[in-house]
Amino acid sequence: MRIQKNISLKPYNTFGIDCQAHCVIHVKTEKEARAFFMKEFSWKKPLLILGGGSNILFINNFKGTILCPEFGRIRIEKQNKENVIISAGAGINWDKLVEWTVNLGFGGLENLSLIPGNVGAAPVQNIGAYGVEVKDTIIKVRTISVADGSTRFFSNDECKFGYRNSVFKNEEKGKYLVTRVYFSLKINPEPYLGYGSLKEEVKKLGVPNLKNIRKAVINIRQSKLPDPEVIGNAGSFFKNPVVRKSAAGELLKKYPQIIYYDDPSGGTKLAAGWLIEQCGWKGKRIGNAGVYDKQALVLVNYGKATGKEIFDFSEEIRKSVRRKFGVELDREVEVVGTI
Ligand SMILES: Cc1cc2nc3c(=O)[nH]c(=O)nc-3n(C[C@H](O)[C@H](O)[C@H](O)COP(=O)(O)OP(=O)(O)OC[C@H]3O[C@@H](n4cnc5c(N)ncnc54)[C@H](O)[C@@H]3O)c2cc1C
């Protein structure tokens, strides 16, 4: 266990917000994490569990304790001719896990290549990209209770996965530390190339095998998304809003070019990036905050933005989308702190 006091959080969030943390605790084993929650150490509330900090916007200095789970290995649990069950510890970098599965020919995670962050956050967020969500492969999640250090497994159903959503963001928010995630992957996978641009990119590379799909996803992402090492950001700042079919129909009459998809809920999912772009925000900058010029869903920190500056900027975007389209945008990024 490594304890740091009164440090800058700049290296701990991909937005690159420079605020202070009262205490950051790095736990190196699951045993250490359990001991921490069994009150063998005294720590100041509130608690924030932090992975790669790639989906977080810090608004103020954090006055409580930040816990960084930095443990875990990847294991093959069971294998037959068709399926393999693997598990990975919370502290493993997500893309390292995807790379490992692709190299071994295990299919299911390849469309989720290059998503920043760690394994522990994947079920919390139900990460998704190119028509695939991690919920489709997760069979169970091992956790430690923050209240007493006990172990609890959540089945896929108990995780109550939704679009960038799970039980860990709702009724169980802040109550469990995810320590290990179990995935069921395919030995002879069927590629999922439902997204037009992905199909095209894979075609350029040759046959649609796992390695080419991964390579294609990486190529597309690198051409469209800003690298947090170069310019601070947290990926899509807003979720794609889901509206009633009737409301989508009205919008379609007025804006025939609107980008939309059928949503499994029965509603219609609108492309938030398109709505934001139509309001004139793409590439706009106010002070140190801006909208990325290649992707209107991504807000960026041009260097010295505060979390509050990014937040206020995002509120202006929400207001203008509400005014023009009557559509409410919800944040995908978690705001930590008080406004
Ligand atoms: C350039 C870029 C592109 C992105 N593209 C995508 C994309 O295509 N699809 C997508 O879904 N997301 C995307 N994201 C968002 C982000 O990568 C994911 O949400 C990722 O899962 C966050 O992982 P993290 O470890 O950084 O989590 P953090 O940001 O550290 O934490 C996110 C939340 O999870 C909680 N948490 C983290 N670890 C644990 C744990 N072990 N136990 C319990 N709770 C925990 C935190 O408390 C917090 O509430 C992108 C981000 C960036 C910067």
Burial of 45 (0-12, 13-18, 19+ CB in 10 A): exposed
Please give the tally of structural domains in the chain: 3
**Taking 80 as the threshold, does the pLDDT of residue 338 lie above it?**
yes
Per-residue model confidence (pLDDT) at position 267:
96
Range of the structural domain that residue 288 is part of: 232-336
Where is average pLDDT lowest: 4-13, 31-40, 175-184?
31-40
The predicted model gives 228-235 an average pLDDT of: 97
Co-location of 177 and 82 in the same domain? yes
Which is nearest to 159 in space by CA: 185, 133, 132, 130?
Answer: 133
The predicted model gives 2-22 an average pLDDT of: 97
Q: What CATH number does the domain containing 103 carry?
A: 3.30.465.10
Domain boundary among 158, 191, 224: 224
Co-location of 176 and 133 in the same domain? yes
Ligand 1 contacts CB of residue 89 (under 6 A): no
Ligand 1 centroid to Cα of residue 249, in Å, is 33
Share of the chain above pLDDT 70, in %: 100
Q: What CATH number does the domain containing 52 carry?
A: 3.30.43.10
Co-location of 86 and 220 in the same domain? yes
pTM: 0.97
Q: Which positions ≥6 away from 319 have C-beta within 8 Å?
A: none
Co-location of 36 and 171 in the same domain? no
Considering the chain, what is the average pLDDT of its residues? 96
Q: What CATH number does the domain containing 329 carry?
A: 3.90.78.10
The predicted model gives 254-261 an average pLDDT of: 96
Per-residue model confidence (pLDDT) at position 47:
95
Where is average pLDDT lowest: 111-115, 194-198, 207-211?
194-198
The predicted model gives 223-232 an average pLDDT of: 96
Per-residue model confidence (pLDDT) at position 43:
86
User: Is 164 among the residues known to form the active site?
Assistant: yes
**Taking 90 as the threshold, does the pLDDT of residue 264 lie above it?**
no
Ligand 1 contacts CB of residue 240 (under 6 A): no
Co-location of 83 and 202 in the same domain? yes
Ligand 1 centroid to Cα of residue 56, in Å, is 8
Q: Give pLDDT tens digits for 79-111.
A: 999 999 999 999 999 999 999 999 999 999 999
Co-location of 281 and 330 in the same domain? yes
Nearest ligand 1 atom to alpha carbon 225: 1
**Taking 80 as the threshold, does the pLDDT of residue 292 lie above it?**
yes
User: Is 236 among the residues known to form the active site?
Assistant: yes
Domain boundary among 29, 52, 69: 69
Out of 164, 180, 214, 331, pick the active-site residue: 164
**Taking 80 as the threshold, does the pLDDT of residue 196 lie above it?**
no
**Taking 80 as the threshold, does the pLDDT of residue 40 lie above it?**
no
Nearest ligand 1 atom to alpha carbon 48: 47
Q: Ligand 1: which of 55, 127, 169, 233 to mutate, most ligand atoms within 8 Å of CB?
A: 55
The predicted model gives 107-136 an average pLDDT of: 97
The predicted model gives 63-86 an average pLDDT of: 97
Beta bridge partners of 142: 153, 180
Co-location of 10 and 129 in the same domain? no
For residues 325 and 63, give the distance between their C-alpha atoms in angstroms, rounded to a whole number. Answer: 39
Co-location of 81 and 215 in the same domain? yes
Per-residue model confidence (pLDDT) at position 149:
94
Co-location of 147 and 18 in the same domain? no
Ligand 1 contacts CB of residue 333 (under 6 A): no
Ligand 1 contacts CB of residue 128 (under 6 A): yes
Per-residue model confidence (pLDDT) at position 339:
83
Ligand 1 centroid to Cα of residue 246, in Å, is 33
**Taking 90 as the threshold, does the pLDDT of residue 310 lie above it?**
yes
Per-residue model confidence (pLDDT) at position 301:
98
Co-location of 47 and 82 in the same domain? no
Ligand 1 centroid to Cα of residue 67, in Å, is 15
Per-residue model confidence (pLDDT) at position 42:
82
For residues 88 and 85, give the distance between their C-alpha atoms in angstroms, rounded to a whole number. Answer: 10
Per-residue model confidence (pLDDT) at position 65:
96
**Taking 90 as the threshold, does the pLDDT of residue 194 lie above it?**
no
Q: Which positions ≥6 away from 162 have C-beta within 8 Å?
A: 126
Domain boundary among 198, 224, 250: 224
Co-location of 34 and 147 in the same domain? no
Co-location of 146 and 246 in the same domain? no
Query: How many contiguous H segments (helices) and E segments (strands) does the chain have?
Result: 8, 20
**Taking 90 as the threshold, does the pLDDT of residue 195 lie above it?**
no
User: Is 75 among the residues known to form the active site?
Assistant: no
Report yes or no: 157 and 42 within 8 Å, Cβ to Cβ. no
